[in-house]
Amino acid sequence: KAVVYTKSEHFIKNENIDKDALQIVNRLRDAGYTAYIVGGAVRDLIIGKNPKDFDIVTDATPSRIKRIFRNSRIIGRRFRLVHVVFGPKIFEVSTFRSNAEGSVGNDFGTIEQDVLRRDFTINALYYDPIQEQIIDYVGGMRDIKKHVLKPVIPIDTIFVEDPVRMLRAIKYSATTHAKMSFSLRHKIRQSASLLLQISPSRLTEELLKIINSGHAYDIVMEALDTDLFMYLQPSAASMIFDNKEIQEKYLTNLKNLDELNKTEKDARLGKKLFFLIFDFISCLTDWKKETEQKYSSNELYVKTWTECRNFILPMNPQRRELEYAIKLSLKRLGVQIKTSSKKTNTK
């Protein structure tokens, strides 16, 4: 059974919700369907943060959602979702899913089934902006207030079904100050090697979220504590475990990265990657001697590129952004890279 919280209890103001997200909910309701704002957006609104994304869930099927919104497209092969587009903004609208085949099943279901597929209780809240009510089936409101991170899915299957949930757990713990129980933290350490099953593209997506989060230092500290970091950035993990001085420099650079995200929100990715690779590049050789030797600066760049590319694996960012970060690092180390008169893809 659900507990319903009213405006006087949850304090969410509709003016803090994207007007286009509200329009999507209203149009679905006008068409005779149920619709809610769901997940991380509801959590952030409760704790007073501005959500980056507003996801919507409904009992309308993707084909029906597509008919209601001309500015939409259906995505996904197994379980189809709908992206509703308003200019540069994309809103993900999904249909309630069944948990009959576990949390990764692909059948449509009810809200009572859909909630049992959500990863953690703090992400399993449904907000009705018309009635201004929160629908809570799993005690998520209580856990947000207590700053506790609890899984909805049974602990023996949550990470087996999707290992990326371990990364979400440490991210939520670091960014919302929600404490993990001993058993949850222990399970993550026990299951860390499951990240080997995840594709480089998906790991890259998660790592970029960490880099852009403004909480990279706190998240990496959690990743180190739970043994996840060695699977996210194995070369960096090996480097900082072997050398205390390098570890301190690396973590300091993560703090500087977080500061950059706060002061320069539109900074390009290459400028952020600089903080991940600079210490590694500086340790590769005696750069003062190298610049005095016969090697040209471009030869030094090519050698450094190969080393850095291997260093950040399995992360695979855009080539031009990594190039920018490498050249910026070499410039700081006194190596000037000649730029071609032709257009380069670092611009």
Q: Which residues carry out catalysis? A: 53, 55, 119
Q: Specify the DSSP class assigned to residue 336.
A: P
Percentages helix, strand, coil for the chain, rounded to the nearest 5?
55, 15, 30
Question: CA distances (Å), 42 to each of 38, 52, 123, 133, in order?
Answer: 6, 11, 8, 11
Burial class of 235 by CB neighbour count within 10 A (0 to 12, 13 to 18, 19+): middle
Q: Positive or negative CA dihedral for 268, 273, 279, 282?
A: negative
CA distance 43 to 177: 13
CA distance 136 to 120: 12
Q: Which of 278, 276, 261, 269 is nearest to 175 (CA)?
A: 261
